């Protein structure tokens, strides 16, 4: 059964189309990822799903309820975790959870028990009386997540859950999301392609307000199978992209670290050309491998956007928001 059904959804702001004829279904129990660059419509989508914005056209049903008619009831089924902590910094962790339980109508007799369980779950029980303003970013994120779980929601909506976290905290949150998925459906947005690949059962790629692909990560990767990827590293290494792109059968070249990735139609035809190229250019081949296409490759093929560009856009957006 579908927990989210989005039918012909559109959202227009004055003179700007944020979402256009979006159709989406999320089944109960899955982790569903919405992947896309800045300004693609991810935030608008989340704002509509969580009742913060109204659609200009189309319908959205959550847990069988139409958000246009039953938004208050719909919100009882949702736990929402925004990208930036929306906890009250001036209040303690405990008071934040109790306030959340009051807002969500958790029975008085269960509030304290539930708050204690959740704080224990994220290892913050001993800090329960400390003000949230004294917490690290990772601690705040964990507390924001459990604040969204206080009413035991069927659907957990996470906006960029690991954005801005250090590697260890991000890993903790990812494992936590997997745990949470045992009891709730997870709908998440992310700009980390690797994260979507690891966590999500299905992924939708959104660009310019339109969903341009929805499938399992493996299925998206297999759409790349008509291309093969060769990874090669030379000594000395330098700016060789343009020269490599001129080789026969090479479709595209990208560079990551000291390695070049060549997207080719037939790897066996390119190997001898690479060896010739190395000897003619007086280069030594340090490594030469064929790779399976990654979700990143599929994303680039579908959207035409480099993941590096997406990440830097995100950082730029965050920095300008911080400045603002």
Partner 1 sequence: MSWRAKKNLEREARMLDRYDSCREAMKMEISNKWFDGFVRALYIARKDARVYYFKAPNFTYGLLMPASLFLAFSLAGQMNVALVVSGLPALAIMFGTMSIEAVAIVLEKQTGTFERLLTAPVSFFSLLLGKAISGFLFGLTIGALTFIPIALITGTHVANPVLVLIAVAYSSMVFSALGVLVSAFANWVPEAQMLSNLLRFPMTFLAGTFIPFETMPPQLLIVARLLPLTYCVEAFRIAVTDSTAIVTYVIDIFVLALFSFILLMMASKILQRKLG
Q: Which residues bind partner 1 (CB under 8 A)?
A: 11, 13, 47, 50-54, 72-73, 75-76, 78, 80, 82, 84-91, 99-100, 102-105
Q: Classify 85 as helix, strand or coil.
A: coil
Tokens encoding 132: 């949230």
Q: How far is the CB of 207 from partner 1 (least distance, A)?
A: 21
Tokens encoding 74: 């719909």
Closer by beta carbon to partner 1, 111 or else 202 = 111
Question: How many Cα atoms occupy the beta-carbon half-sphere of 54 within 13 Å?
Answer: 5
Q: In what order do the strands lie in the sheet with 57-62?
A: 16-27, 2-13, 57-62, 65-66
Q: How far is the CB of 82 from partner 1 (least distance, A)?
A: 6
Closer by beta carbon to partner 1, 78 or else 253 = 78
| Sequence-ordered alpha helix ranges (H) in the chain | 42-49, 71-76, 93-103, 108-121, 137-147, 167-180, 193-199, 217-222, 241-245, 267-280, 295-303, 307-323
Closer by beta carbon to partner 1, 56 or else 181 = 56
Q: How far is the CB of 85 from partner 1 (least distance, A)?
A: 7
How far apart are alpha carbons 21 and 10 in whole angstroms?
Answer: 5
Rounded to 10 deg, the angle between the 167-180 and 137-147 helix axes is 10
Closer by beta carbon to partner 1, 88 or else 271 = 88
Closer by beta carbon to partner 1, 76 or else 252 = 76
Q: How far is the CB of 138 from partner 1 (least distance, A)?
A: 18
Q: How far is the CB of 211 from partner 1 (least distance, A)?
A: 20
How far apart are alpha carbons 9 and 19 in whole angstroms?
Answer: 7
Q: How far is the CB of 60 from partner 1 (least distance, A)?
A: 14
How far apart are alpha carbons 264 and 251 in whole angstroms?
Answer: 5
Closer by beta carbon to partner 1, 62 or else 203 = 62
- Element at 251 (helix H, strand E): strand 250-256
DSSP characters over 114-129: HHHHHHHHTT-GGGTT
Q: What are phi and psi of 216, to 5 degrees?
A: -75, 150
Burial label, 225 (beta-carbon count in 10 A; 0-12, 13-18, 19+): exposed
Q: How far is the CB of 26 from partner 1 (least distance, A)?
A: 18
Closer by beta carbon to partner 1, 52 or else 289 = 52
Closer by beta carbon to partner 1, 105 or else 272 = 105
Q: How far is the CB of 76 from partner 1 (least distance, A)?
A: 5
């Amino acid at each position: 059964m579908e927990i989210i059904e989005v039918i012909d959804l559109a959202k227009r702001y004055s003179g700007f189309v944020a979402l256009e004829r979006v159709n989406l279904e999320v089944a109960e129990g899955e982790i569903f990822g919405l992947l896309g660059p800045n300004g693609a419509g991810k935030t608008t989508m989340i704002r509509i799903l969580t009742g913060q914005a109204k659609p200009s056209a189309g319908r959205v049903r959550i847990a069988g309820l139409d958000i246009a008619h039953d938004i208050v009831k719909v919100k009882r089924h949702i736990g929402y975790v925004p990208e930036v902590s929306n906890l009250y910094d001036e209040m303690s962790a405990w008071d934040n959870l109790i306030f959340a339980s009051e807002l969500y109508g958790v029975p008085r007799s269960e509030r304290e028990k539930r708050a204690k369980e959740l704080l224990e779950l994220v290892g913050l029980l001993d800090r329960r009386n400390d003000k949230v303003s004294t917490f690290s970013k990772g601690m705040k994120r964990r507390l924001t997540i459990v604040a969204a779980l206080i009413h035991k929601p069927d659907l957990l909506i996470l906006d960029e859950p690991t954005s801005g976290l250090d590697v260890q905290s991000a890993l903790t949150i990812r494992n936590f999301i997997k745990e949470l998925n045992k009891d709730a459906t997870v709908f998440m947005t992310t700009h980390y392609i690797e994260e979507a690949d690891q966590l999500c059962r299905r992924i939708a790629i959104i660009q310019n307000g339109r969903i341009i692909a929805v499938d399992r990560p493996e299925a998206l990767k297999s759409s790349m199978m008509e291309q093969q990827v060769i990874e090669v590293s030379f000594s000395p290494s330098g700016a060789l992209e343009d020269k490599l792109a001129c080789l026969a059968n090479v479709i595209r070249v990208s560079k990551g670290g000291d390695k070049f990735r060549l997207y080719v139609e037939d790897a066996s035809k390119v190997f001898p050309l690479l060896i010739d190229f190395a000897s003619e250019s007086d280069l030594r081949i340090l490594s030469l491998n064929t790779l399976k296409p990654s979700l990143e490759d599929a994303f680039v093929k579908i959207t035409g956007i480099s993941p590096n560009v997406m990440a830097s856009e995100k950082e730029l957006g965050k920095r300008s928001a911080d400045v603002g």
